[in-house]
Amino acid sequence: MSDTTEFANEKATPLGGFAPAKGSDAASFYDPTKESLMTRIGLTKESFKRAPGTTRGMVAHGDVPIEYLEHDNPGYQQTMKPRHLQMIAVAGTIGTGLFVGSGSALATGGPAGILIAWAVVGVMLMNVTQALGEMSIVYPVSGGFYTLASRMLDPAFAFSMGWNYLIQWAIILPLELTVANTTVQYWNTSLSQAEWITIFFVVILIAVLFGTIGFAEEEFWSSLLRIIVAVIFLIIGIVCICGGGPKSGDYNHYIGGSLWQSPGAFANGFKGVCSVFVTAAFSFSGTELVGLAAAETPNPRKTIPTAVKQTFWRVTMVYIVCLTIIGLAIPYDDPRLYNGTGASASPFVILMVKAGIHGIDHLVNVTILIAVLSIGLSAVYAGSRMLTAIAETGYAPSCFTYIDKAGRPLWSLVAICAFGPIAYVNCADVGGAVFDWLLALSGLSTLFTWLSITITHIRFRRAWKVQGHSVDELPYRAFGGVYGSYLGSFLIVLVVIAQFYTAVWPIGEQPHGAEAASTFFQTFLSLPILIAMWILGYLWKRTLPKRAKDIDLDTGRKSWLTAEEGRAYRAERAAAPLYVKIYRFLFA
């Protein structure tokens, strides 16, 4: 049956997918809404049974290769609401990178250095999210960008990138448990490290039990708290800079931009800015979760454009404005930026202490703690979805394709959660060194993932054109088009070069011998591992990249327009009033 004939026999559903064609076996489609509420949220014995068939009537189009069948018909429940999707990427980025990491970045790059770095990385992020949004609407498939990289680029490369991404999140889980323990020590509690790690691990496991909806609700409310605290900080910061702080504090007079004059705008010159580029890039890691979550939202065509746009504006603007206030209010040579640990090194806390405002530091520390646990939960979510996708393409044991009636990739969740107890290593003296090398295994994973997204988008656009399609058929087009992906790729490569530069010639006294080698490989170890796994993937499956005319553009395609419909749709939007156009450009 040709694609055109098959499309004509299908009926579009309000859920953004497609109902089975007339005469097909409707009984093979599983509707999770028929289950009890307790089963759907994972609180019954029945919820742990494997979900039969597919969900929401989403069917494959054209000839379906076996390795893509599960991606086209995911067993996940499409339970994420627009508000959930819009907050998921925000939750993964506005956290310790802003509340704590910005302090060390200020000390390294100075107030001008951090603004330059975050602005450039913000442009890079915009192009990555736009490319991801365009593809995720057309292909809301299990595994998201991993599956599309396997199809559009090369299965062996996708295998390498997917496992590297999986390892990254698997290591982040015990790391965040460790950071949570450090954060809570701000209150000088009597419980031991092991006891706090156990408590936090149990909290994450309970949240995991509730499946997708548990993750989505937690991310929404924790993100909202972080944004509220950031806004409170901005208001207090502006008042302090203008001299409106308490008389007993350091901000009882106008300081304006004096700190840009003394101690200065840049802390370590060009090298400092290069170092902050890397910090800025990693602070945005997690924005790509929107691509993984697309398979679990009922109407990607409606929700993903809003999520992509709001993610960029919220994350970038919150970072840029907060970093501006930090650079104006705190000198980069403040000793607390160097000597503090956990919340005590947070510029949010330092500003409150300098201003003589009591109590807010505890609110900031609570927010940091919630953010840390939220990122730990995101690690379980992202790692489990990626492991399931890798298994669906045959590069991991098939047991990891198991998805239960609550929409949980059950054995994948177990596998990722099994990394949690590694956090107890920190109870030993060698814990810090062990974690340094564990993190080195996937140190550049985020940048490789983003690069794969932009290159995949370039290949997608090429195949789309070669196979006779028009961009007018795309329900959503990336703001910069294919040129935006070229720019994004270029900026990502620049950040990797900056990482190499600062790894070989770090700030301060230059290391020698074994110390220099250790510093370099802790930064760049993931690159040779990525290449080795790429070679392994090729030797295993003997796959090669396909020519643009041979790339499969039908499997998993859930949303599209005819060229005429696309032009009519965009003509209608072009005729809207100016204020509506501005709103749509920014948010809808």
479: which DSSP letter? T
Question: Among residues 329, 274, 321, which one has the least CA distance to residue 109?
Answer: 274
Whether 435 is covered by a domain: the verdict is no
Asked if 158 and 393 count as a contact pair (C-beta separation under 8 A), the reply is yes
Q: What is the CA radius of gyration of the chain?
A: 24
H-type alpha helices, 393-525: 410-417, 431-440, 445-466, 481-504, 513-524
H-type alpha helices, 330-359: 335-339, 347-355
Which residues pair with residue 55 across a beta bridge? 30
Question: Among residues 514, 525, 515, 519, which one has the least CA distance to residue 503?
Answer: 519
Q: What is the pTM of this model?
A: 0.86
Whether 350 is covered by a domain: the verdict is yes
Residue 264 CA, distance from chain mean position: 34
What confidence score (pLDDT) does residue 588 get?
Answer: 65
What confidence score (pLDDT) does residue 6 get?
Answer: 33
Which residues pair with residue 30 across a beta bridge? 55
Which structure tokens are listed for 351? 């500003």
What confidence score (pLDDT) does residue 20 get?
Answer: 36
Q: How far apart are CA 147 and CA 142, in angstroms?
A: 7
Whether 81 is covered by a domain: the verdict is no
What confidence score (pLDDT) does residue 166 get?
Answer: 92
For 32, residues 6+ apart whose C-beta sits below 8 A from its C-beta are: 40, 51, 55, 77, 405, 407
Question: Among residues 185, 210, 211, 209, which one has the least CA distance to residue 197?
Answer: 185
- Is residue 509 pLDDT above 80, yes or no? no
Number of H helices, E strands in the chain: 24, 4
Which structure tokens are listed for 177? 């448990």
Q: Each residue of 325-382: pLDDT tens digit?
A: 999 999 998 888 877 666 778 888 889 888 888 888 888 888 888 988 888 898 998 8
Which structure tokens are listed for 382? 């992202």
Torsion on CA atoms 311, 316, 317, 323, rounded to nearest 10:
140
534: which DSSP letter? H
Asked if 414 and 140 count as a contact pair (C-beta separation under 8 A), the reply is no
Q: Highest mean pLDDT range out of 169-173, 482-486, 503-507, 575-579?
A: 482-486
Does the N-terminal peptide bond of residue 263 adopt cis geometry, omega within 30 degrees of 0?
yes
Which structure tokens are listed for 355? 């201003």
What confidence score (pLDDT) does residue 324 get?
Answer: 92
Question: Among residues 320, 127, 86, which one has the least CA distance to residue 216?
Answer: 86
Whether 325 is covered by a domain: the verdict is yes
- Calculate the alpha carbon distances from 495 to 83, 132, 283, 479, 537 in Å: 32, 20, 13, 22, 26
| Ramachandran angles phi, psi of 334, nearest 5° | -60, 125
Asked if 71 and 48 count as a contact pair (C-beta separation under 8 A), the reply is no
Domains in the chain, number = 1
- Is residue 249 pLDDT above 90, yes or no? no
* Mean pLDDT rounded to a whole number for the chain: 80
Q: Each residue of 405-454: pLDDT tens digit?
A: 888 888 999 999 999 998 888 777 666 677 677 776 767 888 889 999 99
Whether 503 is covered by a domain: the verdict is yes
Asked if 73 and 557 count as a contact pair (C-beta separation under 8 A), the reply is no
Which residues pair with residue 209 across a beta bridge? none
- Is residue 18 pLDDT above 70, yes or no? no
Whether 437 is covered by a domain: the verdict is no
Which structure tokens are listed for 407? 């929409």
Q: What is the DSSP string of 197-259?
A: HHHHHHHHHHHHHTHHHHHHHHHHHHHHHHHHHHHHHHHHHHHHHTT-S-TTSTTSS--TTGG
Mean pLDDT to the nearest integer, 259-272: 88
- The CATH number that applies at residue 549 is 1.20.1740.10
Torsion on CA atoms 344, 417, 165, 456, rounded to nearest 10:
-120
Q: How far apart are CA 173 and CA 175, in angstroms?
A: 5
What confidence score (pLDDT) does residue 485 get?
Answer: 95
Q: Each residue of 149-208: pLDDT tens digit?
A: 988 988 999 999 999 999 989 988 998 888 888 888 888 888 888 899 999 999 999 988
How does residue 91 score in pLDDT terms, banded at 50, 70 and 90? low
Whether 258 is covered by a domain: the verdict is yes
Whether 189 is covered by a domain: the verdict is yes
Q: Each residue of 211-229: pLDDT tens digit?
A: 878 888 888 888 888 888 8
Question: Among residues 65, 32, 13, which one has the least CA distance to residue 408?
Answer: 32
Residue span of the structural domain in which 118 resides: 3-75+86-427+442-586
Q: Which residue has the tokens 């107030």?
A: 111
What confidence score (pLDDT) does residue 229 get?
Answer: 87
